[in-house]
Structure 1
Amino acid sequence: MDTGAYALSFARYFLTSQPNEILSPAKPTVDEQSGVILKNTDNEMAVISLTMRAKMPKRGVVAGENGFITVDDFTRPEKALITYANGKTEEIEEGETAKGLNYEVEDMQAAVLHQTGSQTISLSLECHEHLGQCQRTVGHYLPV
């Protein structure tokens, strides 16, 4: 699976609205490293840093005024840690990492078979367009 697409999807999920600015400050070598900044009209920003050369955790951090959320292995998470501004923490657990791809397939099947709106399919379509925009604007793909 494309890690760049997962990172973009993770970031977009927490943005209030679709990014209207997508920037990549440097043209990296294909499939090795990438940096992307997303910004929307709600004055929210996401920064994505990806690399294939360094062994780094797939960690997503969502920061807000009242604290932050840390999600390790964001491509197939089963828990997240909320850290509030006062230092209190709360762990949320849902699903099983090993069943991650099954959840994606089930969601897609339900959307196709029942022709119902998927919770994430519109975000996936948006992210697909953003990946294409990164390629057209900067001349590279996000790492896979």
Structure 2
Amino acid sequence: MTYNWGLIGTGVIAHEMADALQQVNGEIYGVTARNQTRLQAFATAKGVAHTYPDATALINDPAIDVVYVATPHNLHYDLIKEALQAGKHVFAEKAITVNAAQLAELKQLAQAQGLILTEGFTLFHMPIYQKVQQLIASGKLGQIKLVQVNFGSLKDYDPTNRFFSKDLAGGALLDIGGYATAFARLFLGSQPNNLLTTVKFFETGVDEQSGIILKNQQEQMAVMALSLRAKQPKRGVISGTKGYIEINNYPRATEALVTYTPDAHATTTETLQAGTADQALAYEVADMQRYIAQGHDDGQLALSYDVSQTMTAIRNAWGLRFPED
């Protein structure tokens, strides 16, 4: 089954999503962007049949089934709300909203309208994570005690860039930290309810670098390190009482190294493999269309909401507020 997708935004990730849509859905119905020159170039390059002068025109086209939002974070809430009110399913890039209060409202609206609202966390859709979760459920790792996860990106020093803009809800947490938080939440038995954190602010007032420790009611813990000015490996480790799992490049992972530690003197390893990294967005599109067809999202939005609540709590601990808060 195919759907008429309408894309809002023509940036780098929108180009990648367009390719995935062509592969999985076969076509892209429409696109809009603020820059008309880029809009026309995008439509020509990606073979998009319809262009619109603005987002409202795209959203209000009765032919559109699904709206894809790939704009700066601060614009997501208004665009998603408008699309849901118009009866459209929505797939939004992360961070889906600036804060948890915004997402709570949109989540309720989507449910009331009987619509699918999904956030673009590739790791929720990569096939390797199904294998990892099955392994954990089997009990071979024992009780999960600790999750460690890093994400460091070296952005050019440019206070005018959106990554460092407070008005555009920039900073490491909302830009890259969502992936780390989502990884932690995926392997914790419940949402964290306790946190310790420290932050280094960039000169614009957004978070440049941070260390975060989370704990939930089962006293499982997650330790996260984030930076926009220091490169780190995208590495996650899930540790249990009988072994641990190491996952590199975890946002688009295809492999997991499992080390079993039955006692202090013996270890064995195995490697799990599934999927391909260059199909990451195709997996997202396929899942989104499956959610629409089956009428529910397999709990994905609930996970996104937990992530949003955790990130909002972290920012509150720092005293970092955006205009939308």
> Shared fold (TM-score greater than 0.5)?
yes
- Residue of structure 1 equivalent to 2:74: none
2:200 counterpart letter in structure 1: P
Which structure has the higher relative contact order (CA within 8 Å, separation 6+)?
1
- Residue of structure 1 equivalent to 2:317: 137
Are the counterparts in 2 of residues 63 and 69 from structure 1 also a CA contact under 8 Å? yes
- Residue of structure 2 equivalent to 1:90: 270
- Residue of structure 1 equivalent to 2:200: 28
1:89 counterpart letter in structure 2: T
Report runs of 4+ in structure 1 exceeding 3 Å deviation: none
CA shift, 1:120, in A, is 3.0
- Residue of structure 2 equivalent to 1:77: 253
Aligned counterparts of 2:320 and 2:270: Cα–Cα separation in 1: 39
Are the counterparts in 1 of residues 255 and 274 from structure 2 also a CA contact under 8 Å? yes
State the aligned residue count: 140
| Root mean square deviation of aligned Cα | 1.9
Q: Which has the larger radius of gyration?
A: 2
- Residue of structure 2 equivalent to 1:4: 177
Are the counterparts in 1 of residues 199 and 207 from structure 2 also a CA contact under 8 Å? no
CA shift, 1:82, in A, is 0.3
Aligned partner (choices 285, 291, 295) of residue 111 of structure 1 = 291
Secondary structure in 2 matching 1:121:
helix
Aligned counterparts of 1:50 and 1:105: Cα–Cα separation in 2: 28
Deviates more, 1:106-115 or 1:4-13: 106-115
User: Gaps (5+ residues) in structure 1?
Assistant: none
- Residue of structure 1 equivalent to 2:188: 15
Identity across the alignment (%): 41
Aligned counterparts of 1:130 and 1:6: Cα–Cα separation in 2: 12
Secondary structure in 1 matching 2:189:
coil
Secondary structure in 2 matching 1:28:
strand
Aligned counterparts of 1:47 and 1:88: Cα–Cα separation in 2: 25
Alignment deviations for residues 75-125 of structure 1 (CA, whole Å, 9 cap, x no partner): 110010001113211100111111112222332333244322325332112
Secondary structure in 1 matching 2:200:
coil
Secondary structure in 1 matching 2:178:
helix
Aligned partner (choices 65, 72, 77) of residue 241 of structure 2 = 65
